[in-house]
């Protein structure tokens, strides 16, 4: 059975992730990819909803809402990645 001392001093996980920042640095690219895939699915579903609306105003409004949400999500993803890049240069810390 591992004791606290053996976990904190010799464990490979602790050596690879010594602090919370390194954990976030490893997870952040996966979050961006997941958000991009979610954006793609949202845009496709909004387009399909819009194409199959057949003149129904409620369905068209729902389709436009999905497209708008997808585009706003894209802007948020893009701006957050851009801000992360600027902080990386300004602070001199690599976290992406």
Question: Computed from CA positions of residues 12, 15, 19, 21, in that sequence, does the dihedral angle turn out positive or negative?
Answer: negative
Has residue 20 got a pLDDT over 80? no
pLDDT in tens, 22-34: 777 788 889 889 9
pLDDT at 7: 53
Give mean pLDDT, residues 20-48: 87
So where are the chain's domains? 26-91
Cβ atoms of 96 and 28 within 8 Å: the answer is: yes
């Amino acid at each position: 059975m591992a004791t606290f001392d053996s976990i904190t001093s010799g464990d490979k996980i602790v050596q690879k992730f010594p602090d919370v920042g390194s954990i976030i640095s490893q997870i952040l690219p996966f979050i961006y990819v997941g958000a991009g895939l979610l954006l793609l699915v949202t845009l496709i579903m909004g387009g399909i909803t819009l194409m199959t609306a057949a003149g129904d105003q409620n369905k068209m409004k729902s389709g436009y809402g999905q497209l708008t949400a997808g585009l706003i999500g894209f802007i948020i993803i893009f701006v957050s990645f851009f801000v992360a890049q600027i902080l990386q240069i300004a602070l001199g810390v690599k976290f992406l």
